[in-house]
Structure 1
Amino acid sequence: VAWCPAHPDRFLLVGGDLRLYEVAAGDAPTREAGRDVLPGAALLSTNADFQFLRCFSCYLNPNSQLLLAVGQDDGKVSLAGFGRSFNDTDWVGKEFAPKQPRRCNVVAWNPVEFSLLAAGLDKHKGDHCILVWDLNHLPGQTELGFSESTQSFSWFFHQPRSFVCGMNNKHLKIFDMRDPSRSSGTTTKASGGVCVDPFSEHRIASFHANQLVLWDVRNFEKPVTTQTENGQIVKIAWSPTRSHLVGVLTRDSGVVKLYDVQQSPAEDLEPTLVERSVQPYPGAVLSSFCWHPQHENRMLAVTPDGAARDYTVLDRITLNWSPSCELIWMRGKKLAHCWGDRDRGYDCLDDTAVRIRRRALLNYGLEPEDLWRNAELCDGDGHLRGIWSWLELVRSLEESGMRGRRGECAGVKALLGPDPSSLEGPSRGPLGPTYHSRERERVLWLCGWKAKHDGLPGNIFHRRLEKEANYARKAAIHMFNLRLKEAVAVLRDAATTGKGSSVGLVALALSGYSKETREAWREVWHSLRLSLSEPYLQALFAFLTAQDDSYRQLLYDCDMAVEDRVAFACLHLPDSKLTQYIGDLTNSLVTEGNLDGVLLTGLGEDGVELVQRYLDRTGDVQTASLVALQSHPSVLSVSPRAQLWVDHYRHLLDQWRLWQQRCQFDCQWVRQHASSVPPPQVVVSCNFCGLAATPYLPLGAQGRAPPRPHLGAPTLNKTKVSCCPSCRKPLPRCALCLTNMGTPAGSLWKKGDGDWPPRDPEGRPDPAEEEKLSGLSTWFTWCQSCRHGGHAVHLADWFGDHTECPVTGCSCKCGAMDRID
């Protein structure tokens, strides 16, 4: 049984004769798994000319009429059809015979060079067993395999002059018709049914008895894998529409087994065979099957009594995640369903890739002004608040010229240093001891508890505290700074605005606090704590009722912001406890990958490790890359790990086709990392000396040209030159306006016009228009044949009406060779 390559709705059944059937156009395989074909198909023609037919092969040219090669018992190979109404070529009726008559076991048309036909014969002492004819160059034939026998034969798809065949029941041999005297092969009993995978030029399948064997021709000494079946194999065939899928049929079986060959990532590991069984004709034994050459997963199965079945193998539905952040259900190569951002309920899909893509469309991290506002684009992710506020703080230090050591802004841990003896002693107050030193004061400024310190600029943390912090946090910070009256005032204001029923009670209790009433306060605290939901109010009471001045409950309260806990420790802990606490908190935040810890680590090596841990935990390569972008110059921004983050983020933007965001990111990255500016890859060469006609190449790139200084990254104020900088000969002219290449173009062309430059409504020149770069239409382009060219806009206008080159005396048909649509 076989489908006709040139007619997807026709098939052949071969028994004692050749019968051609046609399936009605409306009966193409649909969602049902299968149907009887023979009763519903139309018999178009019958050919009973061959009494001793042994094998056949359909001509594989999809644009030709039906033509068969028929192998017979006496070794003859005949070209046959079904009458002139189906094939009127001169090849019909041709016959090829071996020198010595014997059985023809296999015939095969070449799938690429369609005129090649091969036949495999039984053994004869004085003759060859492989004969190949080129029907376009008859007479003449190629003979191979002297005094041997051929049981199976298959052409290679990617090397159409090569083929593999099973010979002598113990060999697989590969021949190349360009060098017939040489062959490569292996010794194996699995010489039957050899066939080449159409999707992999190196993979071959064959069988022997009940064993399916897969081979790799690059290592032909041993099989890649062997699969044992329950019965004797009678037919194997690779799917022509699905990669690496092979079907296997055993004797007296109604089941076709399908093996999906999945190659392991490591070359030295065996491929995995994913098995699946289909039953095209329930309750019947199959004698053969064949795949449809065009329709995916469609096969034709036939029983020994001539009944056929047209069957479509339904793919398992798989759930996949597309690069554009869509959930898709696939059935093979067909899309069953897609769930994307336009569908209802998609917003509830809280996936990292979805969030990254949404932020990228909002230009997250690419606005240089007010970096801390990037946290507002993070869907309420509070952990990103600290990193962007810190970067804004670093930016303010840079603008004030007060960056830290080695070009980085040191964190709290580095600022305090490992030696506590450098810190000053405590000062006693009514609510307990407090500690002060220059370093501690600067830490308080970094944490936002001091508006200004030592001439440092205004702190973003402090501004946010004044504008955004809730009443509980404001009151607690006032109390931690021993400003009792201010804390009571904040709570009273909150009570008058209805912030909570217990706020007024807390304010009343707080107003009566003193050191002598601390014991009574503990009782009030125990009675109120169950009704207080605000973490900062609980921290306030914990501070006032602390017994041993360790404040452990407050310092390890994860509901408090990291900067508040650090500032509190700097104000209330002695030297040894402060150093230990800062070290423990830093290690904890780095291990967790909590970006709030950048306050402690800064932008040094510990900061790199912190961001890496955050990336490992969340997969947010976007934030990691943008932090590296906006923290330049720092140890973090030049770290090899940062370059790896950036490369992955660029690849992600490319996958989503967010070209504009990728371009904006690259422009900012190159602007800050001058060493990463890509070198010129395409240059214009001079027609006279052959050297690059640009003065902006690095030293040594000009060959024998005089050395010129390297000007680094491209700039907007390059000097325009209209002659070669090496030989001083003029650069090419535009074939239409005769302007030399290098002449100022773009907006500069218009400066002679009375309407230039464009003016705003108030009559002032528009600087945006005046500084606009040259458009693509003013760029030079050339014909790749005659090398004449000019400005793109001029050439487009010319070739809109002409096909011949505009240069006088040149007959090149530039417009016909490369059309401008």
Structure 2
Amino acid sequence: MMGSSVKSEVQWSPTHSDHFITWGTDISLYEVGPLSDVSSKPSCITLSEKTGAHLVASNNSYHYVKCIDICPQSKSDPLLAVGQANGKVTLTTFGPTSFDALGLNGKEFVPRHARQCNGVAWNGIDSNLLAGVLDKYKNDNCILLWDVMKSPTSSEGNLSPRLSQYNMNPVAELSKPYLEMGLSELAHSLAWFHHEPRTLVVGMNQKQIKTFDLRDATNKAISIASTKAVYGVCVNPYNDYQMASRVDSTIVIWDRRMFEKPVLNLPQNKAVMKVLWCPTRQNLLASLQRDSTVLHLADLRGLSNATMFDIGTEVVGDPASALERSVIPGSTQTITSFSWHPTDSNRLLTISMPGTLADYVVCDRITLNWGSGSSPFVWSHGNTTLKMLTEDSNMLLNDISAKIKQRATIDYGLKLDLWQNGDLADDDHLKKLWNWLHVSRSFVEDGCIRGSNSKHPGVKSALKLELPNTSSMGSGSCVSSVKTDFAGINNIYNTIYRSEDRDKALQLCGWNFDKDSASLTAFLDRLETEKAYTRAAAISVFNMKLRYGIEILNRGAEKNPQNAHLGIISMALSGYSEAPGSMWRQLCSTPRHLTDPYIRAIFAFLTSENGCYDSVLNENGMSVDDKVAFACIFLSDSKLPEYIIQLTAKLIEDGNLSGITLTGTSVECINLLQQYLDITGDVQSVSLIAARTFQPELLKEPQVVDWIASYRNLLDSWHFWAQRASFDIALSACNSSNKPSHQVYISCNYCGKSVSAYMQGLHRSRNSFARIAATSNKFKQMSACPNCRKPLPRCSICLLHMGTHGGPITTAATGATAPGTVSTREFHKSSDFSSWFTWCQTCRHGGHAVHITQWFKDHSECPVTSCMCQCFSVDSVSSQSFLQLCIS
């Protein structure tokens, strides 16, 4: 609050960036500064979190103030022109100033007939010129102009002879206007043009906007627009052709070059009270509506780019549009006025009903763009600054796009052995998934798991629960009771379930060991080597080997001082008691203080009653593989399917890649990977998993097609052509029946058929080519069309008939085959690039690729005599390094 007076209007000083005025019943001058500097001064008010203002001076000499404008001249003291309800325009200051010596302070400009002053405006360039507009009066003008600094020594050349009629006595004639216009008319608002100091625009008669040129001796309007939007006329400070005005609930945008009709109408929800152009941001227009707590902004940058065409006498512009938004400057109280800061970017001051002031900076709209090169993300910051997020920044921000790009450069997902891709992923979840895919495929190939159509069957498939509505397991499950001895305390009988299907599921979960053999010990020893002591102890206990689990915990405590608590846990386990009411079971049934999930699972298992293992099965910290393996051992045929189905649904909902252990590479796996993609954005992993592991029919699913297309487009945008080709090879290897057809081939000039013997012999079987390859390691080089026997064109360098090997060359294998293919002792490759056909698309001359490359090392013109074609310069992408790369 600022005292008892209600301040309803506010205006920044155009020349003093740290001063503004408010007025209502009195006029006050404030000085703005950092809040820490002005907080100790009297009459201090807070404008924002960083700025404050204190009252410098106040003037209560004027009543019924209708309008005020601050003189834009560079003086230490502000000079105000105050328009009043009786038509007077008075010049005033705050206390003694340099204007007192000029006789300007308190000077009044009085019209011949009293009526309301609707607006005053100082000329922005010639600051001695002041204009005012008044209500209508019969036989009197409504537009008055004064030269407040007029004197006999003033430069009369600045004004036309018509404007010098009041030059006789500067003191006596000062109050008289040197120019009057608009006889018997009504003027509502006015504005000077910023770059044409002798031109102003006035809204008049509730139906017209007129433009006046003061250099015209006739005082007539030079252009007129018929409209009811005659209020709040203002000129764009960056473009004198562009103006704005208002009426009721509409803002109208004008262009002086096509003044017959508006360029754009912006309808608003309520009546518009004020419209102002931003002086620091091009084409930004702010408006205030009646009884509103927000300011409305319109970005009209599209208008500045509009192209004007002169068709006959009509000027036509491109369709214009505006981007509109609202901002809440400070409090949520009703705003009565606002003012843009003259120099600070996008800064404005608002005043609300009770007189509360708010200093606010409008945030710019951010325009951003993704790039495919070294600057993947660029956005605008202010008017002249662009900010960039580099690839190094992306890595620091853990951005998935940077990870995808880095993985693509090291052939992630394309390694022949699936487990190798997990090492390249640099992610524990992906590493575990690729390892599981490798193991599951080996089980199928080795015959350990049979009867599945998938190359990577899951636990649901092994338990015959792959159908969505399956609620019971397949046949072959048998129940057996096993007599166990926990640490020699008692003979305890515990029920476990064994079947062939459950054994398959245990293998898929990584529990591929026999319960009563050395393989379990070897498995646990490996976990100890990996320092997974608690997991090893839990698996040991789950397999009825409590004593061995205690020993594992003791060894873990001995080898690492940080695991000293494991010794205490082993002591607690050594006191295990089966008695239902024993103190041990009562105290260990709820071990809430334990942080390790496997230790909690051990106690939950040992204190379970009546075969209820919910605490173990719902332990979030345990791996999915271990929980599913535990369920396959201890849950009955009626409970196991229910648990597996519920767990699968939960993992799919969470996008947890561990769920593939349950789903395998099935339709459910697609839903899981889609959820994982939605959460992480890792389109690379889901595409590669699909290409390397899915059956051909799953690759046709719409979701999978979208993944693959998106990843291809991403590689193309980065110009990763080699990675894109390797991905396509891996994808085609997954579906050998859907090989891409040949799209480009060289045809004979005589018969029009392909000159390749391989293309001509596509009807032959592969065995026929194998027999040909057996007799000769390569096809004979051809120099004639295999169909019509006409000779092929000659090379323009060596003058020999061109020709290549007519098909693939069979060669002994020297390394691993491409990902997804079957290893053989022989493989096929195409002919060397050096013998390929190469020709200019302009002059059609060419030759062997190696000869053409050598020629264009030293020449740019065609090698054929009398041909003036500049072949090398015609191809915009050709360069020596590019050609050398192709040959290598």
TM-score relative to the length of structure 2:
0.51
Deviations 1:297-329 (CA, angstroms, capped at 9, x unpaired): 9xxxxxxxxxxxxxxxx9947374634575544
CA contact (8 A) 2:299 2:324 kept: no
Partner of 2:479: 425
Change beyond 3 A, Cα 1:366–1:801: closer
Q: Helix, strand or coil: the match of 1:405?
A: coil
| 2:460 alignment partner in structure 1 | 413
Spell out, residue by residue over 1:251-296, the C-alpha distance to the aligned partner (whole angstroms, 9 max, x if none).
xxxxx9851459xxxxxx99745699998988xxxxxxxxxxxxxx
Cα pair 2:370 2:376 within 8 Å, conserved: yes
Give the deviation of 1:475 after TM superposition.
1.1
In structure 2, how many angstroms separate the alpha carbons of the residues matched to 1:567 and 1:801?
71
Equivalent position to 1:603, from 640, 652, 665: 665
Aligned Cα RMSD in Å? 5.6
Say which SS state the counterpart of residue 538 (structure 1) adopts.
Answer: helix
Q: Is 2:440 the counterpart of 1:399? A: no
Residues 1:506 and 2:569 are matched in the alignment: yes
Q: Is the 8 A contact 2:298 2:325 kept in 1?
A: no
SS of match in other structure, 1:691 = coil
> Does the 8 Å contact 1:443/1:570 carry over to 2?
yes
| 1:336 and 2:382 aligned | no
CA–CA separation in structure 2 for the residues paired with 1:681 and 1:813: 29
8 Å contact kept, 2:836–2:849: yes
> Which residue identity lines up with residue 397 of structure 1 in the other structure?
F
Q: After the TM superposition, which residues 640-789 of structure 1 pair with which residues of structure 2 at under 5 Å, given as runs?
A: 640-674=702-736, 677-695=739-757, 708=763, 719=779, 721-744=782-805, 776-789=833-846
Match status 1:625 vs 2:696 = no
1:793 aligns with 2:793: no
Which residue, out of 406, 410, 416, partners 1:368? 416
> 1 CA distance for matches of 2:651 and 2:589?
31
* Counterpart-to-counterpart distance in 1, 2:584 and 2:402: 50
TM-score by length of 1: 0.55
Matching residue within 340, 352, 355 for 2:400: 352
Give the residue type in structure 1 aligned to 2:445. E
* Number of equivalences: 548
Residue correspondence of structure 1 range 467-616 to structure 2 within 5 A? 468=530, 470-498=532-560, 500-511=563-574, 513=576, 515=578, 519-523=582-586, 525=588, 529=591, 532-616=594-678
Distance 1:794 1:464, change over 3 A: farther
Q: Is the 8 A contact 1:425 1:436 kept in 2?
A: yes
Question: Structure 1 regions of 5+ residues with no counterpart?
Answer: 1-35, 40-167, 171-188, 190-204, 216-221, 236-241, 251-255, 263-268, 283-296, 298-313, 698-704, 752-757, 759-767
Assess if the C-alpha contact under 8 Å between 2:757 and 2:806 holds in 1. Answer: no
Change (3 A) 1:578 1:791: same
The 3 A distance-change label for structure 1 pair 790 and 398 is farther
Alpha carbons 2:524, 2:536 under 8 Å: kept? no
Is the deviation greater in 600-609 or in 388-397?
Answer: 388-397
Q: 1:730 to 1:575 in 2, by over 3 A?
A: same
Check the 8 A contact 1:444/1:570 in 2, yes or no. Answer: yes
> What is aligned with 2:436?
390
Q: Matches of 2:725 and 2:365 in 1, distance apart?
A: 38
With over 3 angstroms needed to count, the CA separation of the structure-2 counterparts of 1:334 and 1:721, relative to structure 1, is: farther
Instruction: Go from structure 1 to structure 2 and tell me whether the alpha carbon gap of 1:583 and 1:249 turns closer, same or farther (over 3 Å shift).
Output: closer
Residues 669, 812 of structure 1: CA spacing in aligned structure 2 closer, same or farther, 3 A cutoff? same
Supply the distance in 2 between the matched residues of 1:410 and 1:447 (Cα, whole angstroms): 12
- Which has the larger displacement, 657-666 or 270-279? 270-279
Map of 1:108 onto structure 2: none
| Alpha-carbon spacing, 1:337–1:508, altered in 2? closer, same or farther (3 Å) | same
Shift of 1:358: 3.6
CA separation of 1:778 and 1:484: change in aligned 2, threshold 3 A: same
Q: Counterpart of 1:798 in structure 2: which amino acid?
A: W
| Whole-Å separation in 2 of the counterparts to 1:811 and 1:797 | 19
Please state how far the C-alpha of 1:514 moved relative to its aligned partner.
5.6
Distance of aligned partners of 1:732 and 1:400 in 2 relative to their CA distance in 1, 3 Å threshold = farther
Aligned counterparts of 2:525 and 2:414: Cα–Cα separation in 1: 22
CA-CA distance at 1:671 after TM superposition: 2.7
Amino acid at match of 2:416: P
1:94 corresponds in structure 2 to none
Distance 1:775 1:37 in 2: 77
Check 1:725–1:772 CA distance in 2 against 1; reply closer, same or farther (3 A cut).
closer
Please say if residues 502 and 531 of structure 1, whose CA atoms lie closer than 8 Å, have aligned partners that are also in contact: no
Return the offset for 1:784: 3.3
Deviation at 1:523, TM superposition (A): 4.5
Identity among equivalent positions (%) equals: 35
Matched residue SS, 1:425: strand
CA offset at residue 738 of structure 1? 3.2
AA at the equivalent of 1:519: S
Deviation string 1:49-92 (CA, Å, 9 cap, x unpaired) is: xxxxxxxxxxxxxxxxxxxxxxxxxxxxxxxxxxxxxxxxxxxx
Cα offset, 1:673, TM superposition: 3.1
CA 270–468 in structure 1, closer or farther in 2 if over 3 Å, else same: farther
C-alpha separation between the residues in 2 aligned to 1:381 and 1:818? 47
Q: Which runs of 5+ in 2 are unaligned?
A: 1-122, 127-223, 230-241, 256-261, 288-296, 304-319, 328-337, 346-361, 465-470, 485-491, 815-824, 880-888
Show CA shifts across 1:766-817 (max 9, x none): xx9x998766554322133442211233234335556665446767665676
Query: 1:427 corresponds to which letter in structure 2?
Result: S
